[in-house]
Amino acid sequence: MKILGIDPGLGRCGFGLIETGSATKALDYGVVTTTVDAPLPSRLLELYDSLKEVFDECKPEMVAVEKLFFAKNITTGIAVAEARGIVLLVAEQKGLPVYEYTPNEIKKSLTGYGAATKTQIEEMVRVHLGLEKKPKPDDAADALAVAITCSFLYKMGQGNKYEFSNNRRKK
């Protein structure tokens, strides 16, 4: 099964595609960036167009998205929420099931500890995917972590999924 993990962001939106089976492996990962000094509507359109390309190239069977838990900076939190909306829109247009996870759920599933550091998460992503080096940039590593979490919890029958219902999703 191919799972596309997304770490939403307006300036940098991380993505990571994994394939599960006898072993979990990374197929692709990276970031989508938007033009920093462009007006917000233009940046959202830029993100939308880029994510459509990522989805078309990756051909995932499901999407895992980091849930916005809280933000220290409300302006940053709003931008991330807007980017997350674009991710959900593209997934809906592609007819893909979406699973969402809080940062705490991701940390706990990868390390067994809900307060794990970014360095610990990156190392566990490297180990789980059998990579020689930690994936870079950080946003891509975070997206891979979301996809791995989805893989673990999906196999266990858990996972905060949005369901299709008459072409609308409901929680």
Q: What CA–CA distance (Å, rounded) separates 29 from 15?
A: 5
Considering the candidates 100, 105, 122, 139, report the single residue annotated as catalytic. Answer: 139
Instruction: Exactly one of 7, 100, 105, 122 is catalytic; name it.
Output: 7
Catalytic entry in 66, 100, 105, 142: 66
7 is catalytic: yes
Pairwise CA distance, residues 67 & 110, whole Å: 16
Q: Catalytic: 56?
A: no
| Residue 73 DSSP SS3 | coil
Backbone torsions φ then ψ of 97, nearest 5 degrees: -70, 140
Please report, for residues 58, 75, 134, 153, 156, the alpha-carbon distance to residue 129 in angstroms, rounded to integers and kept in the order given. 17, 34, 10, 16, 19
| Residue of 139, 163, 121, 147 lying closest to 47 (CA atoms) | 139
Q: Which pair of tokens denotes residue 154?
A: 């999906």
Residue 107 burial (CB count, 10 A): 22
Distance of CA 61 to the CA centre of its chain: 14
Longest dimension (CA), the chain: 46
User: Would you call 66 a catalytic residue per the annotation?
Assistant: yes
Active site members = 7, 66, 139
